[in-house]
Structure 1
Amino acid sequence: MLKSRIQDDMKTAMKAGDKPRLGVIRLILAAIKQREVDERIELDDTQTLAVLDKMVKQRRDSIGQYERAGREDLAEVERFEIGVIQGYLPAALTEAEIAALVEEAVAASGAATLSDMGKVMNLLRPRVQGRADMGAVSALVKQRLGG
């Protein structure tokens, strides 16, 4: 399970004295725990990937803000955190793979218009979560459905 792998990596980072990596892993585990407490559930791998995906997105947003403010030092910290977090995400999908998955989901859902976008996204989300930018996937679906 992904969560136990992250916990094992925390122990390894502690033993190695790798404080920067340890800090990021603790942030990851805190975010997972927060969601588990809020929703009173034990997260499975798919839900854990969603948490990690959200963390990467937040850090990308922060990088943009830091760069606009001229704070390259803070942007560099965020980039390091993204690198650690992405180590737990599955390999990113190529544009061709995403396009193929979109076509598959459109066919499987019988979607024909933009109003069917939710059906398509519900089919796609578990398959691309953590492996592709959901905003880009959404734009591709919208384009495919004539939006």
Structure 2
Amino acid sequence: MSLLERLNNDMKQAMKNKDKDKLSVIRMIKSSLQNEAIKLGNELSGEEELTVLSREMKQRKDSLHEFDKAGRADLVEKLQSELAIVEIYMPKQLTEDEVSEIVKETIAETDATSKADIGKVMAAIMPKVKGKADGSLVNKLVQQHLS
């Protein structure tokens, strides 16, 4: 089942259950996917869908951080529930240990030895962990292993 089909089914279920919050988030995700497909001029591949979902997650996490700093508990709570809904459609996230193993392997593959090689390592790692790990975690682990 494709992501769009899954979203359509979940949207119907949310309508039946009168779950306005879930319905709203699903519609936003679906809209983002459709806008991306229009922009690219073709149907989205699985990887492109994952890119859009990752973007949605990142936007919400950034907003959550800003609202938390501003002391807006009402908006923080709303965004946390939205994040939980978006996470349903994301692939299973890698643990920090799993990401660390991938970092070590990639450092060995790219023959990186110093912090000057961080860009080269990050470019090689990100396609491997796309949608499965947070970029800031990956960056932190790469810096730790190269220091």
TM-score range, shorter chain: 0.7 to 0.9
TM-score w.r.t. length of structure 1:
0.86
Q: Which amino acid aligns with 1:128?
A: V
Q: Which amino acid aligns with 1:4?
A: E
- The residue correspondences of 1:46-125 to structure 2 (distance < 5 A) are 46-125=47-126
Q: Determine the C-alpha separation between the residues in 2 that align with 1:134 and 1:74.
A: 25
Q: Determine the C-alpha separation between the residues in 1 that align with 2:70 and 2:123.
A: 37
Greater mean deviation of Cα atoms: 99-108 or 75-84: 99-108
TM-score w.r.t. length of structure 2:
0.86
Cα distance, 1:21–1:102 mapped onto 2, change above 3 Å: same
Q: Is the 8 A contact 1:3 1:45 kept in 2?
A: no
**Per-residue deviation, 1:142:** 2.8
Q: Which amino acid aligns with 2:104?
A: E
Q: Determine the C-alpha separation between the residues in 2 that align with 1:3 and 1:116.
A: 39
Q: Specify the alignment match of 2:42 in structure 1.
A: 41
Greater mean deviation of Cα atoms: 105-114 or 95-104: 105-114
**Per-residue deviation, 1:124:** 2.0
Cα distance, 1:46–1:143 mapped onto 2, change above 3 Å: same
**Percent identity over the alignment?**
39
Greater mean deviation of Cα atoms: 64-73 or 83-92: 64-73
- Structure 2: give runs of 5+ residues left out of the alignment: none
Q: Is the 8 A contact 1:102 1:141 kept in 2?
A: yes
Secondary structure, aligned partner of 1:90: coil
Q: Is the 8 A contact 1:93 1:131 kept in 2?
A: yes
**How big is the alpha-carbon RMSD for the aligned residues of Structure 1 and Structure 2?**
1.9
**Per-residue deviation, 1:115:** 4.2
Q: Which amino acid aligns with 1:143?
A: Q
Q: Which amino acid aligns with 1:69?
A: A
Q: Specify the alignment match of 2:27 in structure 1.
A: 26
**Per-residue deviation, 1:58:** 1.4
| Number of residue pairs aligned between Structure 1 and Structure 2 | 146
Q: Determine the C-alpha separation between the residues in 1 that align with 2:5 and 2:119.
A: 33
**Per-residue deviation, 1:43:** 1.8
Deviating 4+ runs (over 4 angstroms):
none
Cα distance, 1:116–1:87 mapped onto 2, change above 3 Å: same
Secondary structure, aligned partner of 1:96: helix
Q: Specify the alignment match of 1:128 in structure 2.
A: 129
- Structure 1: give runs of 5+ residues left out of the alignment: none
Cα distance per residue 1:4-38 (max 9 Å; x no partner) = 22222122222322211010000011111222222
